[in-house]
Amino acid sequence: MEWITVIGFVLFGIGLIIVEILFVPGTTIVGLLGFAGLIIGIYLGYAYFDKTVGTIILLASGVASLGLIVWAFRADVWDRFSLKQSIDSKFNEEVGLNLKIGDIGKSISALKPIGKAEFSNEEFEVKTAGEYLDAGEPVKIIKLERNNIYVEKS
């Protein structure tokens, strides 16, 4: 029964550490529980058996942990779970095509100071100079800069 307990804690710990490294970025409760399980398993190995067996368990769990981590990175486990699509679109791509300074539109959302406004039945993301405007208020374009549209209350 002692062997099952020791091996169970060690495998549980190694498993959670692998899950932490591959699936849960950062130091989270999963990694801490895995580390705790591994330490408890090694401690019980020393407590239940003699120093030699405890040291063998320590070395075996270290080699197994390192080996599984190296295998996981070499087997491209990341590629199976990584997002392979990229976002190619940009907001307000066609700002300069049909808008000009002085155009009047209507805010669709609250502008705090960024929100959406409608000009010529098209939606655009707009910015104010820091003022807050409620949805439905008339706005006027005061500045066009690259992909930014600056407005003020009309």
pTM over 0.75: no
CB contact at 8 A, 90 and 146? no
- Residues 4-27, mean pLDDT to the nearest whole number: 84
CB contact at 8 A, 104 and 139? yes
Q: How far is CA 51 from CA 38, 54, 62, 114, in A?
A: 17, 5, 16, 66
Q: 61-77 pLDDT, tens per residue?
A: 989 888 887 887 777 76
Q: How far is CA 142 from CA 69, 73, 126, 153, in A?
A: 56, 53, 11, 10
Question: CA quadruple 32, 36, 39, 42: dihedral positive or negative?
Answer: negative
More confident residue, 150 or 1: 150
What residue spans define the domains of the chain?
2-79, 95-153
pLDDT over 70 percentage in the chain: 87
Select 95-153's CATH number: 1.10.10.10, 2.40.50.140, 1.10.730.10, 1.10.150.240: 2.40.50.140
Would you say residue 82 has pLDDT above 80?
no
Bridge partners, 127 (sequence order): 114, 150
